[in-house]
Chains A and B, each alone.
Chain A
Amino acid sequence: MAKDPILQVETTCGSLLYELQVIIWDEVGETETDRDKMLLELERECLEVYRRKVDQANRCRAQLRQAIADAEAELAAICSAMGERPVHNTRQSDQSLGSLKQELGTILPELEEMQKRKTERRNQFLFVLEEIENITNDIKGQGELVLPKPPIDETDLSLRKLEELHCHLQALEKEKSDRVETIRKHLCTLYSHCSVLGMDFNEVVSQVNPTLTDPEGPRSLSDHTIDTLDAAVQKLREVKIQRMQKLQDLATTMLELWNLMDTPIEEQQEYQHITCNIAASEHEITQANSLSQDFIKYVEAEVVRLGEVKASKMKELVMKKRSELEEICRKTHMLPVSDSAMDQTIVAIESGIVDATLVLEHLEQHISKVKEEALSRKEILEKVEKWLSACDEESWLEEYNRDDNRYNAGRGAHLTLKRAEKARNLVNKLPVMVEALASKTIVWEQEKGIEFLYDGIRLLSMLEEYNLLRQEREEEHRRQRDHKKLQGQLIAEQEALYGSKPSPSKPLGGKKAPRMSTGGAATSRRLSLGAGMHQTPKPNKKADQRQAEGALSTGRRGLDVAGLPSRKQSMDPCEQLQSPLTRKPFSPISTTVVASKANIATPQQLVPSSKSNAVNEISSFATPVKNNNIIKNLEEEKIMMMMQTPKNVAAMIPIPSTPATISVPMQTAPTPLNNNNNARFLPEKAEVIEYSFEERRLAFMLQSESPIHV
């Protein structure tokens, strides 16, 4: 019947009480007090049970509340750690939501969610921190201090913090890459140094830090490593510079030795790559092994070898230096060190008494001293050269003035004339030049306190001597002029005797080389009276001769006016006639020369006319004498006489033979052949046969032979 357990309990409790009070107790007849007592006890026991149950429930509720509070607190902590807004605010505003258990039910999944997120965030932190840790370790150096675990600040897992950590990580990463780069650079430098110096790169590097040699594995990036690496690089660089300087010193020595000994280029070629670096700076030397110990030893060996060669060649070197010294002395006209002194030093070197290097040094010093002196002499020397060349010109002019043919036309004559003009100017300046030179030399001597020697002779005495010579020469000239005046009188006397003056003659000095006859002067042109390059002799009219003579003497006078003294020793006719040649003057044969028998008549016809007309004909004497007409021959001879120059007349008296030069004027008679030819022989020309010398000779030969044969 009792559906509700409580009702049932109450029913049961009521029925039980009834049963107890009515049935049991009545039956038992319990006293009221007992009854009351029993009832009180029952009631007390019941209360006790209630109280216990309530307490229990109360406790349970408190626990629940505690759980909720805990969860909320945790949630709040997590939220704050993660830097998020707490969630329970929403929950508080929603208090009516229900019982504690419900509340707990809503808060727990939230908490779980948050815890999950927190773990994730934490892992993120852990990862970043671990990274940082790794890099820091890399930077700080391996094996130095390995931190056990990255400490995580649980209270701050905010994104901001994470961001900060990331930044830190990036900075570290950058630093790491910087260090890697630095190390790479250092290693590169180190490698190049090692290769230049011929050292083992790996060995050097492993001394710095063994991890650097491992191409695969991680390399130490610590400050220490970098510092050591840097130091190693610096050290090697110093070594390199040191070696480079040594090598350059060696190369310089080598060059000097080569230079000294004139080592052939082929031999030098082998060491060209060393000497070419002689002026290179440190960074320019990059060739592998170019500064290795072995290489330096090799160069050293060569230098030592050269040094030995040099020692053996020292004598030669001394000689060479000496010749250099002599060359300088010669150039500057100073007196070189006397030979005997030099020979003695060489003997001394050979016998080992004197160190050749010392002698060499001494020579070098001497050379530089001489060079210095040469510099101070230079100015005066230049003047001396000028003076000497002026003296040369003067003597040339002297000789030139003696040449009576100097105005004759010829190739280069104008140049000679020009030269003479220059020379005259120069000669006029000579006294001033000498004076200036002398004063300069005196100043020099006073400054230096030594005499100015020119090839060992005191320059001043040279100048003095020259002045004396010059005076003498002037004296001589004066004498010559007087002599000439006398000569003129002699000639005048002769003229009075023979009616003509001798033509000027060539000086027969003998020592003078035949000079291109100079000329082109108007006077001498006039002398030849327009004769072309081909001149034919002609019987000169006296009038012509005089005219020519007049012109000639004008020319001569003109020369004298110019103040050119000329030697006239050869004026004596006897001297002129020393020429042994007996050969008759030759006249060129022209196409119009009539030489054949057929034309024999022509010259005969011409001879008389030539006297009056100045028309000439070579054949008058060049034709082989074929006719036996003695009269004609005589006539010819007479003509010849007439044709002969006045000089010949003079010559005829003392000596019968005729010098070749004497008949010259005949051949240079004024009438040009061509005109002659055109005027006189045109009609005949077709018949004229030109015979060669051989034909004429053969004809003559046959003719002279024929009488014998007949």
Chain B
Amino acid sequence: MTLLPSVGRELSNPPSDGISNLRFSNSSDHLLVSSWDKSVRLYDANADSMRGEFKHGGGAVLDCCFHDESSGFSACADHKVRRIDFNAGKEDILGMHDEPVRCVEYSYAAGQVITGSWDRTIKCWDPRAASGPERSQIGTYKQPERVNSLSLVGNHLVVATAGRHVNIYDLRNMAQPEQRRESSLKYQTRCVRCYPNGTGYALSSVEGRVSMEFFDLSEAAQAKKYAFKCHRKSEDGRDIVYPVNAIAFHPIYGTFATGGCDGFVNVWDGNNKKRLYQYSKYPTSIAALSFSRDGGLLAIASSYTFEEGDKPHEPDAIFVRNVNEIEVKPKPKVYPNPPA
């Protein structure tokens, strides 16, 4: 299938198996990509060049994140949390979980690496400590279920696990979750992402829905929360519902993009409850999304996410598209439908 130019530039040298996550750097347009092909790759999104490929021979890499411009972390299916030095091309093991590590985040506020695993724990690590799990590990915190998604904003850490549990921690006091919640959505949580303004988080489920939540427990704040349907297809009066795999917030406008197994990327204005834009369809499921630091670029991982088990699928691909302001800028509320 030939791709229309409207989907953005496709990066060459994509991973050879499913893309588990991709993230833009905080200080450049470098893009870190983790994959089921047991590698982490570093691209220059502007130059369309692969700056490095880091394979450790362990397991599939389920998540990755930047530490700084020259290093990053990976969460691996072989239970290990690794630190990657991009320049030296060297990897060392930061620590281990008892089960595959599902997700990893680096907190600039706390200077800690936080990982979530299917061993029903989250762990905090000090990346500066001498290597060796005994030294670098700061704490282990039990979770009610297998951790599926993590998100950080300021000192807030939101942990979404199987069984629709959501735990909210304050990084300064990890002993107990600040709040224990149940997902507002009825189905399995796919992704959780905090608002850039630090007031709450968006949570997506396998059933074409996203809920918008707020940390503040006051009635006024909670009255603002809502959920909406998305990534569905109406066919002859029947709805087909797709999982929402990815959420990415625009760093400047606070609007956000969602990606689903329908291969669509939608941009939403959460405050005005409007869809701002829908990009043309991608070849297969959207596995991950990331806005660059200034929101000028959007990286899209079009990669089959195994929602229907093993089956032939379109090749995994990374697209980088320039974001028009009109696609992401909030629009003030207007008449919902043109007057008929």
Contact = CB atoms under 8 A, between A and B. Distances in A.
B237 to A, nearest CB: 4
B309 A623 contact: yes
A264 interface: no
Interface of A: 404-405, 407-410, 412, 415-416, 418-420, 422-423, 503-504, 517, 519, 524-525, 527-528, 531, 533-535, 552, 580, 582-591, 621-625, 661, 664-665, 667-668, 690-698, 700-701, 704
Contact of B340 (A415, A531, A668, A700): A415
Interface in B293-310: 305-310
Interface string B90-103: 00000000001010
Interface string B283-295: 0100000000000
Interface stretch (B8-16, B168-176, B228-236, B246-254): B228-236
Contacts of A691: 162
A621 B237 contact: no
A586 B186 CA distance: 19
Given A418-B340, A588-B243, A692-B148, A665 B236 contact: yes
Given A415-B337, A668-B237, A704-B310, 10 more contacts: A405-B234, A405-B236, A535-B240, A586-B242, A588-B187, A588-B241, A622-B309, A661-B235, A664-B240, A668-B236
Contacts of A524: 236-237
Contact of A625 (B238, B243, B309, B336): B309
B309 A588 contact: no
B5 interface: no
A419 B337 CA distance: 11
A588 B60 contact: no
**Size category of the binding interface on chain B:** 35 or more
List the 4 closest A-B pairs by CB distance, nearest first.
Answer: A419-B340, A668-B238, A624-B309, A517-B234
A696 B36 CA distance: 13
A698 B61 CA distance: 11
Contacts of B20: 694
A480 B145 CA distance: 60
Interface string B301-340: 0000111111111100000000000000000000011001
Given A418-B340, A624-B309, A527 B102 contact: no
A589 B340 contact: no
26 contacts: A404-B236, A415-B340, A504-B236, A519-B234, A524-B236, A533-B239, A534-B187, A584-B311, A588-B208, A588-B240, A589-B243, A590-B187, A590-B207, A591-B187, A622-B309, A624-B310, A661-B235, A664-B236, A664-B240, A692-B190, A693-B306, A694-B20, A697-B36, A700-B310, A701-B60, A704-B310
Contacts of A625: 309-310
A409 B234 CA distance: 8
Contacts of A503: 236
Contacts of B262: 586
Nearest to B145: A690
Contact of B188 (A585, A665, A690): A690
B307 A589 contact: yes
B237 A584 contact: no
A582 B315 CA distance: 12
Contact of A533 (B77, B229, B312): B229
A580 B236 contact: no
B307 A586 contact: yes
Contacts of B313: 583
Given A622-B309, A693-B307, A696-B306, A528 B238 contact: yes
A583 B238 CA distance: 19
B261 interface: yes
A596 to B, nearest CB: 12
B235 A664 contact: yes
A588 B242 contact: yes
A525 B234 CA distance: 12
B161 to A, nearest CB: 10
Contacts of B187: 534, 588-591
A514 B324 CA distance: 21
Nearest to B304: A583
Contacts of A665: 235-236, 238
A588 B190 CA distance: 12
B259 interface: no
Contacts of A624: 306, 309-310
A587 to B, nearest CB: 8
B158 interface: no
A410 B237 CA distance: 9
A517 B234 CA distance: 6
B100 A410 contact: no
Contacts of A667: 238, 240
B130 interface: no
Nearest to A595: B309
Contacts of A582: 312
A212 to B, nearest CB: 73
Given A405-B236, A588-B242, A694-B20, A580 B1 contact: yes
A418 B339 CA distance: 10
A416 B59 CA distance: 52
B206 A588 contact: yes
Given A589-B243, A664-B235, A698 B308 contact: no
A583 B284 contact: yes
Nearest to B340: A419
